[in-house]
Structure 1
């Protein structure tokens, strides 16, 4: 398995992996009309993929800049312009349980990239006890706040989310 910068030609297999994650885990909560476009959100600063030996996408993560969250910036002790958000992080069900450590490898890439630029990564995750929470906490990400999501679930309610900061 390798982790490298995402290329445009990776998007179709990223969408395939995302669809498998959506079926297995319900992520994303709402299937996007344009899943390839969803993988490149506004403010995209960088994106990486985890690939199997045959170049099959097994995981994905991106970093979004221009995060306007003064509360989290204050909790992190950084100016708001130094805050970046981990986004579109997923690992295909086909890669889980194989000892690849892909989720950890993708987050490590985000941390290295952010450190090189003097940026503070944050992430949010639905507060539902999913394995993602265990991963973040095992890797030393620090829970700083719980709050309502800024997006609506298909049934119209707002999930509670946990906000984490990358380990120092």
Structure 2
């Protein structure tokens, strides 16, 4: 039985067939837990903000500041996204104030740290590159060398979670 793998659309059939095999033999969860045995401990928005600032200060020192970082339970349902970078402009007197906000799907409160970092890197890359183009993905890979593998594994994680519920207790 071939599963409809909505998180893996665009990947080659040979890869999606392997994933379907893991699902059909009930081995996807075991595969993920062997590779990512622990959920991260960054449950508060303060801890998430600190992670964003740590990565930003290491790789994007000259980019604009991020004023707000939070977990958002609405993102996945409404936007079919995992994180959002928003640029908010407000007029204050005769000045235009710009603020950058990063919202991460609350799904990632209970995920391995590498997946959370990958999403953070993705959203931070939007400070410099607005579009998902070659320069954007080069920047992601500069900040997180395993970016593409982590993105694929995170899609496996989301697939498993949708099929059988949370992976981590």
Q: Same fold (TM over 0.5)?
A: no
Q: Which has the higher contact order (CA 8 A, sep 6+)?
A: 2
Structure having the larger proportion of residues in helix? 2
Q: Which has the larger radius of gyration?
A: 2
